[in-house]
Amino acid sequence: MKTSKTILLTLILLACLGGATSAPEEPHRLFGAITDSEGNSVEVEGQIEYSGSSIKQFETNKDGSYDIMIPNGDYENEELNILIEGEVVGTVVFEPLEVTEKDLTYQAEEENRTEEENLEEQNNEEDTSGAGGGLGGGGAMPSNEEAIEEAEETNQNETEDNITKDNETEETNNFEKQFDQVEEGEEISLEKPDRTDSAINSVSFTSVRSQETGQVKITEVDPENSEKLTEDLAAEPKGETLSYTEVETDIEAENATFEFEIAREQLNQRNATPEQVVKQRYSEGEWNELETEVIDRNDEAYTFEAYSPEGFSIFATTIREKGDNTGQQVTGQFFSQPSNYALIISILIFIGLVAYLRKDLSELIQR
C-alpha cells in the first residue's frame, strides 16, 4: 500500500509540474481602429516588427478595427513598430499582460499620387487656358495709370481680407456670454458657438452668490503663445501640455465642469491613449489634477469631461506620463494568468499529499 501511494504521489507531482511548464505565455493585447486622413475606415494588412523582424501579422476588419495578441519574446519593455503596407504608422512598448488601445491613421500612396497628379493636371490646364486667352484676346491694353490704380486696389483688397482673416482667427479660440441676473445656487452654462475652433465644447458651474449682471469669457491658448498667460505662474503643468484654458469672469463660481474634445490624430502623434489625458487647475503656486474621464468617442475625436469643485482659475489640458499610474486604466477581464500560477498550485497539492501520507503512516504504526 505504501508503494502504491508513493507511485500515486510521484505521478500527481509530475502532472502538476508538467502543467506548470506549459503555463500560458504572457502576450500583449493591442487593439484599435485604422482610418485614412478623412476619417474613413480602411481595410489593410499590417505587421508588428522588432529590430526589422516581423513578430506578428494582422488584417483590419471592414470597419477598420483590429484586435491582436503580440506574443512574448526577448523584447520586453522594448518599442515595437506598427507597419501598414510596409510603412511605420505607430509604435507600442511591449509589456507582458498589458492592454493597449491605439487608433492609427494611414493614407495609401496610390491615393496620394492620384491627388498630386490631378492637381498637376489642373495647373497645366489653367496655364494652357491662360496662354490661349492671351493670344486670342483682341481688347486694348490698359494704360499705365489704369494698371497702377488696378494694382493698388487689388493690394488694398488683399490687405483688408488679411486683416479680416486675422480677426476671425483671433476670435475663433474664445467665446463669452453675459447674464442679466445671477441667483445664488443657480446652475449656469455656456456652449461654444459654431464659428469657434476652441476644443472646449461647454462650461457649466454653480454661482455662489446673487448679483445683477455677470459675464464669463473662455479663451483657449496654444502653449507656443502662452507666455503672457503663464509668465507669472510659479510652476509648469505635469506632463505634456496640449493647451491652456483661461476663464475670465466676475461671477464667484464653484463645481465647474468642462466638456472638451481632443482629436485622435493629436494623441496618435504622441503615442498617447485617452486614459492619459487629464485637465489640471493652477492654484496657490502649483498644478492639481482634476477628475477627468472619457464620455464619448468617434472616428475623429474623443470627448472628455473634467470637474473642478473649487471653481475657476487657469487650466491646462495635458497628457500624463506613461509611468504615472494615478489615471484610469483600460477596463475589462484579462485573458491569462501569470506563468507561475500552476507551479504554486502544484506545490500546495504536494504539501497536502505529504501530510496525508504521514497521517496514514502514523495509523499503521499505531496498529
Residues 288 and 362 in one domain: no
For the chain, give the percent of residues with pLDDT over 70.
67
Same domain, 270 and 208: yes
Q: What CATH number does the domain containing 65 carry?
A: 2.60.40.10
101 located within any domain: yes
Q: What is the pLDDT of residue 154?
A: 63
Residue 293 reports pLDDT greater than 90: yes
149 belongs to a structural domain: no
- Helices (runs of H) and strands (runs of E) counted in the chain: 6, 19
Q: Concatenated DSSP letters for 290-346?
A: -EEEEEEE-SSEEEEEEEETT--SEEEEEE--TT-TTS----S--S---TTHHHHHH
Domain boundary among 87, 105, 123: 105
CA-based nearest residue to 264, from 273, 276, 251, 256: 273
Q: What is the pLDDT of residues 228-260, one digit of tens each?
A: 888 888 889 999 999 999 999 999 999 999 999
For 244, other C-beta atoms within 10 Å of its C-beta total 23
pLDDT digits (tens, 9 = 90+) for 253-281: 999 999 999 999 999 999 999 999 999 99
pLDDT tens track for 17-35: 554 444 446 898 999 999 9
Residue 211 DSSP label: B
d(CA 124, CA 106): 29
CB 86 within 8 A of CB 70: no
Whether 187 and 304 map to the same domain: the answer is yes
Q: Burial, 297: exposed, middle or buried (Cβ in 10 Å; 0-12, 13-18, 19+)?
A: middle
Residue 133 has pLDDT above 50, yes or no: no
Would you say residue 240 lies in a domain? yes
- pLDDT (tens digit, 9 = 90+) per residue, 101-110? 989 988 876 5
Q: Is residue 133 part of a domain?
A: no
Average pLDDT, the chain: 77
Answer yes or no: is 161 within a domain: no
Question: Residue 135: inside a domain, yes or no?
Answer: no
pLDDT of 332 reads 34
pLDDT at 350: 79
Residue 365 has pLDDT above 70, yes or no: no
pTM given for the model: 0.45
pLDDT digits (tens, 9 = 90+) for 53-100: 889 999 898 888 999 999 988 888 899 999 998 888 899 999 998 889
Residue 211 CB contacts under 8 Å (≥ 6 apart), including other chains? 182, 250, 251
pLDDT at 170: 43
Q: Looking at residue 151, what is its pLDDT?
A: 62
Residue 309 and residue 195 share a domain:
yes
CA distance 302 to 262: 5
Residue percentage of the chain with pLDDT more than 90: 31
In terms of DSSP bridges, do strands 45-50 and 99-101 run parallel, antiparallel, or are they unpaired?
unpaired
The band of 198, judged by pLDDT with boundaries at 50, 70 and 90, is confident
CA dihedral of residues 265, 271, 274, 279 (deg, nearest 10): -100
- Count of domains for the chain: 3
Examine the domain organization and report whether 224 and 182 are in the same domain. Answer: yes
| 102 neighbors 273 (Cβ within 8 angstroms) | yes
3-class secondary structure per residue, 116-171? HHHHHHHHHHHHHHHHHHHHHCCCCCCCHHHHHHHHHHHHHHHHHHHHHHHHHHHH
Say if CB 94 and CB 109 are below 8 A apart.
no
96: burial class by Cβ within 10 Å (0-12, 13-18, 19+)? middle
Beta carbons of 91 and 104 less than 8 angstroms apart: no
**Domain span holding position 313:** 173-319
Same domain (yes/no): 311, 356: no
Condensed to tens digits (0 to 9), the pLDDT of residues 295-345 reads 999 999 999 999 999 888 899 999 998 766 554 433 333 333 444 556 777
201 and 278 fall within a common domain: yes
Q: In this model, does residue 168 exceed pLDDT 80? A: no
Same domain as 76, residue 51:
yes
What is the C-alpha separation between 172 and 308, in angstroms, rounded? 24
113 belongs to a structural domain: no
Sequence-ordered list of residues with C-beta below 8 angstroms from that of 236, at least 6 positions apart, any chain: 230, 287
Q: Which residues of 303-320 are buried (b: 16+ CB within 10 A; e: fewer)?
A: ebbbebeebbbbbbbbbb
- Per-residue cell: 104: 492609427
pLDDT (0 to 100) of residue 135: 38
Same domain, 90 and 185: no
Is 203's pLDDT higher than 90?
Answer: yes
Segment 146-163 shows an average pLDDT of 59
Residue 206 vs residue 361, higher pLDDT: 206
Does residue 311 belong to any structural domain of this protein?
yes
Grid coordinates representing 114 are 492620384
Q: How far apart are CA 212 and CA 216, in angstroms?
A: 14
- The pLDDT assigned to 136 comes to 40
